[in-house]
Structure 1
Amino acid sequence: MASQPRRGGVSLPDRRAPKNTNQDGIITKLINAPIVSRGKQAACDAVYVSKKLLRSTGKAAWIAGTTFLILVVPLIIEMDREQQLNELELQQASLLGAPPVNPTLPVPR
């Protein structure tokens, strides 16, 4: 049985095997150039260092934040309470008719 011609449609040309020559293209020469490989290595190293720096910065921020919450926030709250108590004492003293006492000066006994 002989091969039948195809009916309808467009026939595409067969793919040809690439020519094997010893001459490489310009792009291939550029990709294989030593400067390009050094540039790729430098970029990889920069990404690696950036990731390490970001990770260590995140750890340092976590340590600083938790230390602030544990040590400094209660101190601020206590100082605010002390200030409110001093203001309340001054207000009560002024209502009772006593002269206002300067909290920075020592009280004579």
Structure 2
Amino acid sequence: MASQPRKGGVSLPESRVPMKNKPNVDSSIISKLRESSIVSMVSSRGREVATDAILVTQKLMKSTGKAAWIAGTTILILVVPLLIVTDRDQRLNELELQEASLLGVPHPHLNP
């Protein structure tokens, strides 16, 4: 079943290097930590805890990055246009006040 082509979508060319020969950054970091002198002094339970802590930290960093991306794009889509419109309205009000003072039109707050 794995050799059947998928319907639709884009298919990428097969990799020439088998997956087991490709270096995996996450597993290489964990294997280096497992082989370090500090971890070798700790019991097997300590190694498991250290490995779990590393995996949790990696997942936390990924989710923090995703949250930062969501917050950043939300600000760009919602807040920046609001700031632009507010600034435009403020400039328009200032221009109207300036024109009114030049033309000598009475101030609207002074009329009963």
Which TM-score band applies after superposition, normalised by the shorter structure? 0.5 to 0.7
The percent of aligned pairs where both chains have the same amino acid is: 64
Question: Post-superposition shift, 1:41?
Answer: 1.0
More RCO (CA 8 Å, sep 6+): 2
TM normalised by structure 1 equals: 0.59
Q: Give the corresponding residue for 2:79.
A: 72
Q: Distance in 1 between matches of 2:90 and 2:99?
A: 14
The residue type paired with residue 94 of structure 1 is: S
Q: Give the greater-gyration-radius structure (CA).
A: 1
- 1:92 and 2:99 aligned: yes
The residue type paired with residue 57 of structure 1 is: T
Question: Post-superposition shift, 1:39?
Answer: 1.2
* Structure in which a larger fraction of residues adopt helix: 2
For structure 1, the 5+ residue unaligned runs are 1-30
The residue type paired with residue 58 of structure 2 is: K
Secondary structure in 2 matching 1:92: helix
User: Hey, which bits of structure 1, 4+ residues long, moved more than 2 A?
Assistant: 99-102
TM normalised by structure 2 equals: 0.58
Q: Distance in 2 between matches of 1:59 and 1:75?
A: 24
Q: Deviations over 1:17-52 (max 9, x none)?
A: xxxxxxxxxxxxxx5x8x611111111111100000
Matched positions, count: 72
- 1:49 and 2:70 aligned: no
